[in-house]
Structure 1
């Protein structure tokens, strides 16, 4: 009986402590998500240093890695993709088995192309890319951000 009375008297205190813990948890999680979206975080892995250097020299350096490489339409989808790619990158960074030249996956390319079209909608508005809905920005502009050389039939094309 004493325990029940104690809980009834302390309910407001417990609710306040719970609310403060929830606020602190959201603040820490939000700060972590914001930090993990920065280039300084992405380039902290050895295998991403070349990508960070070439991005820094590009005309898109004002954007974070996540602005281009994560979906932007839906926060839940963005967090799921961030988790998936983060675990993938951590796994391969730990094993040190990344190839010298990192290739973007088909899913990653689709995300990047969607983000290009989102930011450059006005520019491509009256082109075949907009009309067809199958914008493939990276097909022609692959080296624009990360300075990759396009190779056709085994021969570098600049």
Structure 2
């Protein structure tokens, strides 16, 4: 008798709620596990070793250490915007999403290349940090954007 009474109380709505709670809970659980496993909190800060969390980036990290900027600039100094903190974290979130997706699925090229949007950020970082050196060049270039990485592509970390 008790089982029949319980079965009558189990409605379609209750089942849908239970399935919904299970699905949402599973997504949150998997998301938290992935965030912790991937050391996600470290990406909110400025330690260059964070970039080597992914084995694919170890070569770039080692090249940065041996490069000309390791004593004066971190990864974020060159690869994150300097204009405001919101833009910085929007770019970091965008990069984090694409890096995470590509590394998780294994769909990244052996020779990793910078995206155009990131090249723009890096170029603007060069101009920001080297404003004293580039002010005369910028005056002669007029409205044309100076492309620092075109000639200085291996300055931060040459992987050749």
Confirm or deny a common fold (TM above 0.5): yes
Contact 1:116 1:137 in 2 (8 A): yes
Closer/same/farther in 2, CA of residues 109 and 57 from structure 1, 3 Å limit: same
2:53 partner SS: coil
Contact 2:80 2:92 in 1 (8 A): yes
**Deviation readout 1:87-123 (Å, 9 max, x if unpaired):** 1111111112221111111110000000000000101
Counterpart Cα distance in 1 of 2:90 and 2:105: 23
Counterpart Cα distance in 2 of 1:84 and 1:111: 13
RMSD: 2.0
Please, which of 77, 83, 86 is the counterpart of residue 73 of structure 1? 83
1:125 partner SS: helix
Task: Choose 1 or 2 for highest CA Rg.
Answer: 2
Please, which of 125, 128, 152 is the counterpart of residue 141 of structure 1? 152
1:3 maps to: none
**Deviation readout 1:9-64 (Å, 9 max, x if unpaired):** xxxxxxxxxxxxxxxxxxxxxxx467543211111101111110111101101311
Counterpart Cα distance in 1 of 2:86 and 2:56: 27
Contact 2:60 2:159 in 1 (8 A): no
- TM-score where L is the length of structure 1: 0.68
Contact 2:63 2:158 in 1 (8 A): yes
Contact 2:78 2:125 in 1 (8 A): yes
1:155 maps to: none
- TM-score where L is the length of structure 2: 0.67
1:40 partner SS: helix
**Number of residue equivalences:** 118
2:67 maps to: 58
**Deviation readout 1:111-144 (Å, 9 max, x if unpaired):** 0000000000101111257643511000000012
1:1-158 maps to which residues of 2 (within 5 A)? Answer: 32=41, 36-62=45-71, 63-127=73-137, 131-133=141-143, 134-148=145-159
